[in-house]
Chain A
């Protein structure tokens, strides 16, 4: 039982990060019908901005809550700017062409960011400084939860609630929803769609950067290619939950995280080696596409064919 609870906590931790990244995929898809493949790299950029800020601002010397908050917020802002720049210079000029063009541009941007970082910083992993003192608390007998895990849960839940508030309670959120229904009609209603799209990219990128900094507290190893696999899995999470659907992205992220951890933790008992963890997400993707292409909470399900 202890082990089960522990594995559940482990899975939820990983899943919360996937969920944060998946939100960005899903929001951009909801508005532009574009899968922004560079999104996983924004997560990496967030972690690296946090890394350099921590050293520049002198927070790397010891754990402090102030340092962590500053680094977290600053890297979210930086990533938001990067996300907006990518949208402005890579996607907006292509918006009038076929959707496939933007998709390919997204893959190009992703490769560009990764290789720029490799060229400038090298592919060697770096050690992210510890900004949160290390301590574990025991729950339910033997299940341990560390401070960094609590941080991941707390910050992700807070950010998700904030996002929910932005989307449903603010004017800009209403405009975002309008644009996602129909971009042209929204434009005719006087909504500045360019601004809304830009804003959506900023929002998604900030969430991904938060994911990057939070992961780096949990697993201090960061490298320029860390966003590839994590980004792909978050994409699967978004598809699983129903791409374009915000609660779906969170649900999908958590499910993928738990599925992965359970494969590692229990797979061996039924003959699945723990190295299959990465295969699981993609097996789920294939299953979802075969059985329920609209995802668990997908909205297009009512359109009966």
Chain B
């Protein structure tokens, strides 16, 4: 008996020693890797830029699209000789769409890979988790598409190349009240998402200001499997429109279940809808719904069409808005590095924050004092797996206080197909044309299928 115990002990000792040895080997490998790692913050050699996004999680279409846009921009810059003679290297990390993971991978990119700047994330909740790490390490971070206002409030190292939720919520409220002539709106929000809550807040405020009424507000959480309870409650209030500021995965199903419940009011959404998977989930149920977005692939401007064609050639699919924003974020960063002449955090951050009238695919980008891009938004109608351009809405209320001589007139020429017309004209031109079509659309589905042709033509012919 005792000998057996001894044998056991010996065996255990052997195992402990063996595992210690293994750990030591592993540690030494890591140490080597780190020493030889790229970047190292120098002023020569490749410029290492960190990208983080959801590459495998619930919103992975977002992360993948953005990554493709970022990489395409970096390749273009590298082919043209790099920035001040230095090539760009993109290091990508997957945060699986989880805020805590986003903070971890960003810490890794900063400390281990020594990136000079960070690009990411799409979902505001994830950017908010990662931003404090970048701020603390003095590494500039540009978010391509996080629209929640709180993101850039983290600090002066955090900026973005997209508009923010107060504007996006406002755009949809205006479209609903002015163009669709909606009086009663219901809201269905993603309860745990800062993006969705932000949009809800601003839509609600604007819609009420425009004389509308919010008749019901329901919430769901990501990963819910059934939305009929909420939709039935909404249906009983008979709204003219239903605002669903969520992400594509849930929205596709919500649209489908809404149609199953015979809900005829159109659903309205934001840029979170924009993904090809939306159509796989929602299919024809999405026809007649509207979203606000950063740009329209149908925009005839040569810059946009060249981008769309290049992206298609490279990736075999039409770029969504997130790809375009990823592309713009990388280009804005490159422009700032060129102007700063260095990749040192403090100087680079100042150069990024001073970005003015940068002509990107998603419009002319100027950062305001809160490091948010001041840009117009487009409203698109969903029809048969396509986004049909409806109108462009400009940040009227926002431009004067920001003091930048930016948005309206220069932005018009790049972002809006309605070339020379200033914002109010473009808007009023679109609204009478589409309102009769709207009056017909909620009536029945065949009428709905027929109406978009009528409603979109007048809006898009001025191009």
A interface list, Cβ under 8 A from B: 2-3, 6-7, 10-11, 13-14, 118, 122-127, 130, 134, 136, 138, 142, 144, 146, 148-149, 215, 218-221, 223, 225-226, 229-230, 260-266, 268, 273-275, 277-278
User: B38-46, B248-256, B388-396, B451-459: which one contacts chain A?
Assistant: B248-256
Residue among A7, A215, A219 facing the most chain B CB atoms (10 A cut-off):
A219
State the Cβ distance, A233 to closest chain B Cβ, in Å.
Answer: 10
User: B219-227, B287-295, B427-435: which one contacts chain A?
Assistant: B219-227
Q: Are A124 and B226 in contact (CB under 8 A)?
A: no
Assuming the A-B contacts A123-B57, A124-B57, are A264 and B225 also in contact, with contact meaning beta carbons closer than 8 angstroms in the complex? Answer: no
Q: Please tell me if B409 contacts chain A, counting CB pairs below 8 Å.
A: no
Closest B residue to A278 using CB positions: B221
Give the contacting residue for A138; candidates B61, B262, B283; CB below 8 A: B262
Q: Are B229 and A220 in contact (CB under 8 A)?
A: no
State the Cβ distance, B285 to closest chain A Cβ, in Å.
Answer: 7
Q: Are B285 and A220 in contact (CB under 8 A)?
A: no
State the Cβ distance, B438 to closest chain A Cβ, in Å.
Answer: 23
- With A and B bound together, what is the CA distance between A221 and B223 in angstroms? 9
- With A and B bound together, what is the CA distance between A220 and B97 in angstroms? 21
- With A and B bound together, what is the CA distance between A219 and B227 in angstroms? 9
- With A and B bound together, what is the CA distance between A125 and B61 in angstroms? 10
Give the contacting residue for B229; candidates A7, A125, A130, A278; CB below 8 A: A7
- 18 of the cross-chain contacts (CB-CB < 8 Å) are A2-B236, A3-B235, A7-B229, A10-B228, A11-B229, A124-B60, A130-B283, A146-B260, A219-B226, A221-B253, A229-B223, A230-B225, A261-B228, A263-B229, A265-B230, A274-B229, A275-B219, A277-B229
Q: Are A124 and B232 in contact (CB under 8 A)?
A: no
Q: Are B220 and A261 in contact (CB under 8 A)?
A: no
Q: Please tell me if B280 contacts chain A, counting CB pairs below 8 Å.
A: yes
- With A and B bound together, what is the CA distance between A72 and B281 in angstroms? 20
Query: In chain B, residues 47-63, which have Cβ atoms closer than 8 Å to a Cβ of chain A?
Result: 56-61
Q: Are B232 and A3 in contact (CB under 8 A)?
A: yes
Q: Which residues of chain B come closer than 8 Å to A229, judged between CB atoms? A: 223
Give the contacting residue for A215; candidates B221, B225, B250, B259; CB below 8 A: B225
Main secondary structure of the interface of A (DSSP, over half): helix
- With A and B bound together, what is the CA distance between A134 and B256 in angstroms? 9
Q: Are A274 and B220 in contact (CB under 8 A)?
A: yes
Give the contacting residue for A125; candidates B58, B192, B226; CB below 8 A: B58
Q: Are A127 and B252 in contact (CB under 8 A)?
A: yes
14 additional A-B residue pairs with CB within 8 Å, beyond A144-B260, A218-B226: A3-B232, A3-B233, A6-B228, A7-B229, A10-B232, A127-B277, A134-B285, A138-B262, A220-B253, A261-B229, A264-B229, A264-B230, A275-B191, A278-B221
B interface list, Cβ under 8 A from A: 56-61, 96-97, 191-192, 218-221, 223-226, 228-230, 232-233, 235-236, 249-250, 252-253, 256-257, 259-262, 277, 280-281, 283-285
- With A and B bound together, what is the CA distance between A134 and B259 in angstroms? 9
Q: Are B56 and A127 in contact (CB under 8 A)?
A: no
Q: Are B230 and A274 in contact (CB under 8 A)?
A: yes
State the Cβ distance, B226 to closest chain A Cβ, in Å.
Answer: 5
Q: Are A220 and B260 in contact (CB under 8 A)?
A: no
Q: Which residues of chain A come closer than 8 Å to B260, judged between CB atoms? A: 134, 136, 144, 146, 148-149
Assuming the A-B contacts A220-B256, A274-B219, are A144 and B261 also in contact, with contact meaning beta carbons closer than 8 angstroms in the complex? Answer: yes
Closest B residue to A215 using CB positions: B225
Q: Which residues of chain A come closer than 8 Å to B281, judged between CB atoms? A: 127, 220-221
Q: Which residues of chain B come closer than 8 Å to A14, judged between CB atoms? A: 225-226
Give the contacting residue for B233; candidates A223, A226, A268, A275; CB below 8 A: A268
State the Cβ distance, A11 to closest chain B Cβ, in Å.
Answer: 8
Q: Which residues of chain B come closer than 8 Å to A142, judged between CB atoms? A: 235, 262
State the Cβ distance, A217 to closest chain B Cβ, in Å.
Answer: 11
Closest A residue to B260 using CB positions: A146
State the Cβ distance, A143 to closest chain B Cβ, in Å.
Answer: 9
Q: Which residues of chain A come closer than 8 Å to B257, judged between CB atoms? A: 219
Q: Are B262 and A136 in contact (CB under 8 A)?
A: yes
State the Cβ distance, B274 to closest chain A Cβ, in Å.
Answer: 16
Assuming the A-B contacts A123-B96, A229-B223, are A13 and B249 also in contact, with contact meaning beta carbons closer than 8 angstroms in the complex? Answer: no
- With A and B bound together, what is the CA distance between A14 and B230 in angstroms? 14
Q: Which residues of chain B come closer than 8 Å to A146, judged between CB atoms? A: 260-261
State the Cβ distance, B181 to closest chain A Cβ, in Å.
Answer: 24
Q: Which residues of chain A come closer than 8 Å to B252, judged between CB atoms? A: 127, 220-221
Give the contacting residue for A122; candidates B56, B232, B235; CB below 8 A: B56
Q: Which residues of chain B come closer than 8 Å to A260, judged between CB atoms? A: 229
Closest B residue to A269 using CB positions: B233
Closest B residue to A148 using CB positions: B260
State the Cβ distance, B132 to closest chain A Cβ, in Å.
Answer: 25
Q: Which residues of chain B come closer than 8 Å to A273, judged between CB atoms? A: 191, 219
Give the contacting residue for A10; candidates B97, B226, B249, B285; CB below 8 A: B226
State the Cβ distance, A148 to closest chain B Cβ, in Å.
Answer: 7
Q: Are A6 and B261 in contact (CB under 8 A)?
A: yes
- With A and B bound together, what is the CA distance between A49 and B281 in angstroms? 18
Give the contacting residue for A223; candidates B58, B191, B224, B259; CB below 8 A: B58
- With A and B bound together, what is the CA distance between A6 and B236 in angstroms? 10
- With A and B bound together, what is the CA distance between A264 and B218 in angstroms? 8
Closest A residue to B248 using CB positions: A125
Give the contacting residue for A124; candidates B56, B223, B233, B235; CB below 8 A: B56
